[in-house]
Amino acid sequence: MNTMAKKRIEILFENDEILVVNKPVGISVTADRGGADDLLMLLTRQLSPAEPLRLVHRLDKETSGILLIARSRTAQSRYSRLFAKRMIQKLYLAIVRGPLPYRGGSIKDPIARSKRNPQAMHVHPRLGKPSHTVWKELADFGTLSLVAAQIVTGRTHQIRVHFAHRGMPLAIDPIYASAEPLMLSAYKSGYRPKIDKEEPPLIDRLTLHAYQLTIPVGPQEDAEMRTFTAPPDKKFVAAVKLLAKYKDKSAPGFHDQNDLLRILRSEQMEYPLKTETGQRLSRREKEAAYNRILVSEEQLEQTVRDLARRLNDSYPVNEPATAVVLLEGARRFAEDLLKHLVFTVEVRYLKASSYYGSTESSELVCIEDSEKTGGQIAGRNVLVIDDIYDTGRTLAHVLDWIRTRQPKSVKTCVLLEKRVRHEKQITIDFGGLEVDNAFVIGYGLDYDGKFRDLPFVAALPDDFEN
Ligand code: IMP
Ligand code: MG
């Protein structure tokens, strides 16, 4: 009897548009070459959907974990577009061979299909397609490490190839490293398997699990960023626990014990790729920005001080207020502003993102509340801190989101206001400066991840507009 077919696929989330499932190891996402039932067939049998289920992205047969599936053609194209625009974040857990030379990094080796072995991919500087993986070490067990990996691009076997190429291959990977199972006896000193019994392997599958997925959910004009996690199977979890327990004495194990707890409880993990900040500017880019300064460093300092003074005059010293800082753009401004405040402020961060890499804010604003700020708003005096009032869509959306959570009061503090006809009228209670209707950069404001670090605000040099 085929036991696989009996097994139910774990559904992590569903609505009219999508399913988020936890794919077990050994099930092909589609058209299994060995003729076994593929995931879509299994799910179709399990759910009897009205419309055929459709793929949006893939996982290798030997990789377990989170997978998004569309329930209609419209949903398929919506989410495929989001993947293409890199609006979807995904985090993998991988057990790799260590010790690793760094605690984390960014790998950009171009990947192509191998000519010699059409089943395999490899790094090829000339023929490879741009590929980008960002990773961080969660635990160092000595000869093995547990890492979190985030893929910016989604090439076939990307994590497996990138890690193998950098000398940190998956602990078990039949194509790019070793197919040998991991045995506890290799890690636990003095371990003796029971007499006459062969030692069972600690884990004997590809040591890669797709753990977490962040996607916009709900109607397009009012989507919310949601993060889902897929619990790794028992063997994977047991392997991580035992490796943590029987690690080399000299190895640190988990750098943050909370990461182990998060995995055990299938809670959300922090993405290795923080934001697109900190991209180095070329000299030409820097010069171009210096030539278009709109607000100097000194003017910014003065403006921040003035705003702080007005805030200090308006808020009572002894009633704590909640500052909600909109990421990523307002971080820098808020940090400087908060230094000058004399009343008690609890600082919260909220990520409100529109499509990035474009100079026009899109119709889609998503709120990603990874700090559970939403639960901290009722009854509080909330001060929303943002970088710039442009169309007003973001602020309007955030203010609605906050107001439905019953704050005692809501005020807005915004550094810059563009001289444009705002699409949404927002009351700016504490406003800094007006700037001309141009796309502006610097002092936290970015264009496609660039220019945030500039200490002044400038108009975006012409040749960047696209
Ligand atoms: P909105 O158009 O008012 O919704 O602005 C949304 C967000 O887009 C702002 O909070 C900024 O983070 C970003 N933004 C708007 N205009 C600019 C700009 O000129 N430069 C950089 N970021 C901008
Ligand atoms: Mg912003």
Residues 146 and 270 in one domain: yes
Q: Are 242 and 202 in contact (CB under 8 A)?
A: yes
Residues 337 and 376 in one domain: yes
Q: Which protein residue's CA is at the shortest distance from atom 8 of ligand 1?
A: 361
| d(CA 444, ligand 2 centre) in Å | 9
Residues 357 and 241 in one domain: no
Asked whether residue 222 is assigned to any structural domain, the reply reads no
397 Cβ inside 6 Å of ligand 1 = no
Residues 118 and 38 in one domain: no
Residues 81 and 98 in one domain: no
| d(CA 424, ligand 1 centre) in Å | 13
Other beta carbons less than 10 A from residue 51's beta carbon = 10
Asked whether residue 464 is assigned to any structural domain, the reply reads no
| Substitution site in 350, 361, 365, 437 for ligand 1 pocket (most atoms within 8 Å of beta carbon) | 361
Q: What is the CATH number of the domain that holds 397?
A: 3.40.50.2020
Single residue among 85, 107, 134 that ends a domain in this structure: 85
Q: What is the pLDDT of residues 422-454, one digit of tens each?
A: 999 999 999 999 999 999 999 999 987 789 989
Q: Which atom of ligand 1 is nearest to the CA of 389?
A: 3
Q: What is the pTM of this model?
A: 0.63
Q: Which protein residue's CA is at the shortest distance from atom 22 of ligand 1?
A: 445
Asked whether residue 316 is assigned to any structural domain, the reply reads yes
> For position 358, what pLDDT does the model report?
41
> For position 448, what pLDDT does the model report?
75
Residue 121: exposed, middle, or buried by beta-carbon count in 10 A (0-12, 13-18, 19+)? Answer: buried
pLDDT-derived band at 411, boundaries 50, 70, 90 = very high
What is the identity of the amino acid at 208?
L
State what percent of residues in the chain have pLDDT above 70: 93
417 Cβ inside 6 Å of ligand 1 = no
| Domain interval for residue 138 | 90-213+227-275
3-state secondary structure of 214: strand
Asked whether residue 246 is assigned to any structural domain, the reply reads yes
| Substitution site in 276, 360, 389, 394 for ligand 1 pocket (most atoms within 8 Å of beta carbon) | 394
In 3D, which of 403, 423, 421 has the Cα closest to residue 412? 403
Single residue among 275, 294, 311 that ends a domain in this structure: 275
Residues 354 and 430 in one domain: yes
Residues 306 and 407 in one domain: yes
Q: Which residue has the higher pLDDT, 445 or 7?
A: 445
Q: Which protein residue's CA is at the shortest distance from atom 20 of ligand 1?
A: 440
> For position 87, what pLDDT does the model report?
79
Alpha helices in 294-346 (DSSP H): 297-314, 331-339
Q: Which atom of ligand 1 is nearest to the CA of 424?
A: 3
In 3D, which of 82, 169, 118 has the Cα closest to residue 353? 82
> For position 364, what pLDDT does the model report?
63
Residues 249 and 295 in one domain: no
Residues 151 and 247 in one domain: yes
Residues 12 and 156 in one domain: no
314 Cβ inside 6 Å of ligand 1 = no
Question: What does residue 267 show for φ and ψ, rounded to 5 degrees?
Answer: -95, 165
User: Is the pLDDT at 367 greater than 50, yes or no?
Assistant: yes
Residues 15 and 141 in one domain: no
Q: What is the CATH number of the domain that holds 40?
A: 3.30.2350.10
Q: CA–CA distance from 134 to each of 105, 149, 161, 413, 416 (Å)?
A: 6, 6, 13, 34, 33
User: Is the pLDDT at 43 greater than 90, yes or no?
Assistant: yes
pLDDT-derived band at 221, boundaries 50, 70, 90 = confident
Least confident of 120-129, 236-245, 356-365: 356-365
Least confident of 46-50, 67-71, 273-277: 273-277
What angle separates helix 297-314 from helix 331-339, to the nearest 10 degrees?
Answer: 60
439 Cβ inside 6 Å of ligand 1 = yes
Among all residues, which ones are annotated catalytic?
A: 390
153 Cβ inside 6 Å of ligand 1 = no
> For position 359, what pLDDT does the model report?
43
Asked whether residue 466 is assigned to any structural domain, the reply reads no
Q: What is the pLDDT of residues 304-358, one digit of tens each?
A: 999 999 999 999 988 999 999 999 899 999 999 999 999 999 999 998 876 443 4
| d(CA 458, ligand 1 centre) in Å | 14
Q: Report d(CA 230, CA 209) in Å as an integer.
A: 9
Domain total of the chain: 3
| d(CA 398, ligand 2 centre) in Å | 11
| Substitution site in 327, 388, 443, 453 for ligand 1 pocket (most atoms within 8 Å of beta carbon) | 388
Residues 262 and 297 in one domain: no
Q: What is the pLDDT of residues 133-161, one digit of tens each?
A: 999 999 999 999 999 999 988 899 999 99
369 Cβ inside 6 Å of ligand 1 = no
pLDDT-derived band at 71, boundaries 50, 70, 90 = very high
Q: Report d(CA 419, CA 434) in Å as an integer.
A: 6
> What are the contacts of 15-18 at 24+ separation with CB within 8 A?
15/217, 15/218, 16/71, 17/70, 17/71, 17/72, 17/74, 17/75, 17/78, 18/68, 18/69, 18/70, 18/71, 18/75, 18/79, 18/215, 18/217
